[in-house]
């Protein structure tokens, strides 16, 4: 691994986030954007895709759950299970990501918890409050620690860029359930002073630790802000749910023993 890449991973370990740089060419990124739109418009579809439409108010609190596909619209907030699509699968399995994921999870297979589009549509989309990605809500026997986030559009400071509270991952989960960080925990920090905004151009990639507090605002640029978020896991992670059959997870990278 190059010294630069090792420094990027060290930054992610210490601060809970890092910039991996701009990966892939503009044609590839444009094709991913077009594919995301084609899915929202119902032109490309796979059994098992999960959709969540945005709330008309742009408020996180007003989002509806369990409604799925509502017909063609570019105002879906989320599409999950993008690994079903060959173009997205090719992106998820890139060698650069293999290098990072196998450094974060050495000596084991790497599996996929989720790969989803987070869309702030041209009308602004909705805000996403401070949260962590893990905890009981995820139903795993250990929390994943690596999310690789790719900007498919420019995400400037006023365009719904990701914001982080560096170092918060080191204290673990704010609540056993995970998800939104409760107000009383936010009040223990000087959030507005400590936060770091991570504007990105299309094709730029960020590493995010699942436990780092992160959020994003609505876009105020009048342009859509589409992004791909992929959560990679230690391949030994198991689903703890018992009421339904436990989930199984697709292997993304095989554990390759180092050459002797
Ligand atoms: O894309 C965003 O605005 C936030 C994404 C996020 O929360 C994540 O990747 O975990």
CATH number of the domain encompassing residue 179: 2.60.120.620
Asked if residue 259 has pLDDT above 80, the reply is no
Give the per-residue pLDDT at 37.
Answer: 98
pLDDT tier at 242 (50, 70, 90 boundaries)? confident
pLDDT for the residue 68: 85
Cβ 202 vs Cβ 26: under 8 Å = yes
Containing structural domain, residue 14: 3-253
Q: Read off the pLDDT of residues 28-59 as tens digits, 9 standing for 90 and up.
A: 999 999 999 999 999 999 999 999 998 888 78
Tally the domains of the chain: 1
d(CA 227, CA 161): 10
Q: How far apart are the first and last CA of the chain?
A: 17
Percent of the chain past pLDDT 70, that is, above it, reads 98
Distance (angstroms) between ligand 1 centre and the Cα of 215 equals 7
Tell me, what's the pLDDT at 70?
A: 87
Q: Please report whether residue 260 resides in a domain.
A: no
133 CB near ligand 1 (under 6 Å): yes
Q: Which of 229, 231, 233 to mutate for ligand 1's pocket (most ligand atoms within 8 Å of CB)? A: 229
Predicted structure pTM score: 0.95
**pLDDT of 260 over the 80 cut:** no
Averaged pLDDT for residues 56-78: 87
Residue 257's pLDDT is what? 66
Q: Which residue has the tokens 């002073």?
A: 193
Q: Is the dihedral of CA 96, 83, 154, 26 positive or negative?
A: positive
Confidence of residue 71 (pLDDT cuts 50, 70, 90): very high
What's the pLDDT band for 234 if we cut at 50, 70, 90?
A: very high
Tell me, in angstroms, the distance from the centre of ligand 1 to residue 63's CA.
16
- CA–centroid distance, 78 to ligand 1, in Å, is 10
pLDDT, one tens digit per residue, over 108-143 is 999 999 999 999 999 999 999 999 999 999 999 999
Whether 106 is covered by a domain: the verdict is yes
C-alpha dihedral sign at 179, 184, 186, 192? positive
Ligand 1 proximity of 118 Cβ (cutoff 6 Å)? yes
Instruction: Please tell me the predicted confidence (pLDDT) of residue 60.
Output: 82
Q: Is the pLDDT of residue 179 over 90?
A: yes
Is 233 domain-assigned? yes
Say how far apart CA 6 and CA 88 lie, in whole Å: 26
Query: Residue 258 domain-assigned?
Result: no
3-class DSSP assignment, residue 173: coil
162 C-beta closer than 6 A to ligand 1: yes
Reduced to 3 states, what is the DSSP secondary structure of residue 163? strand
What's residue 251's pLDDT?
A: 97
Asked if residue 187 is part of any domain, the answer here is yes
Can you name the residues that pair with 215 across neighbouring β-strands? Answer: 163
Mean of the per-residue pLDDT values of the chain: 95
């Amino acid at each position: 691994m190059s010294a630069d890449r090792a420094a990027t991973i060290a930054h992610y370990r210490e601060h809970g986030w890092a910039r991996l740089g701009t990966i892939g060419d503009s044609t590839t990124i444009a094709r991913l954007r077009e594919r995301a739109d084609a899915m929202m418009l119902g032109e490309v579809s796979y059994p098992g895709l999960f959709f969540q439409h945005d709330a008309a108010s742009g408020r996180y609190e007003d989002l509806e759950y369990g409604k799925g596909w509502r017909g063609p619209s570019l105002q879906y907030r989320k599409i999950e299970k993008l690994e079903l699509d060959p173009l997205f699968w090719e992106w998820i399995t890139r060698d650069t990501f293999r290098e990072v994921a196998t450094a974060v999870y050495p000596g084991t297979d790497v599996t996929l918890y989720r790969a989803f589009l987070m869309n702030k549509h041209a009308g602004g989309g909705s805000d996403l409050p401070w949260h962590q990605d893990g905890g009981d809500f995820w139903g795993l026997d250990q929390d994943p620690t690596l999310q690789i986030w790719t900007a498919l559009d420019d995400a400037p400071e006023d365009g719904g860029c990701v914001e982080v509270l560096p170092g918060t991952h080191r204290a673990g989960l704010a609540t056993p359930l995970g998800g939104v960080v409760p107000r009383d925990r936010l009040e223990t920090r000087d959030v507005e002073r400590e936060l770091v905004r991570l504007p990105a151009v299309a094709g730029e990639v960020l590493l995010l630790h699942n436990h780092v507090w992160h959020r994003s605002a609505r876009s105020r640029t009048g342009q859509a802000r589409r992004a791909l978020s992929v959560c990679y896991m230690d391949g030994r992670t198991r689903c703890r749910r018992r009421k339904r059959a436990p989930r199984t997870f697709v292997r993304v990278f095989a554990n390759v023993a180092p050459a002797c």
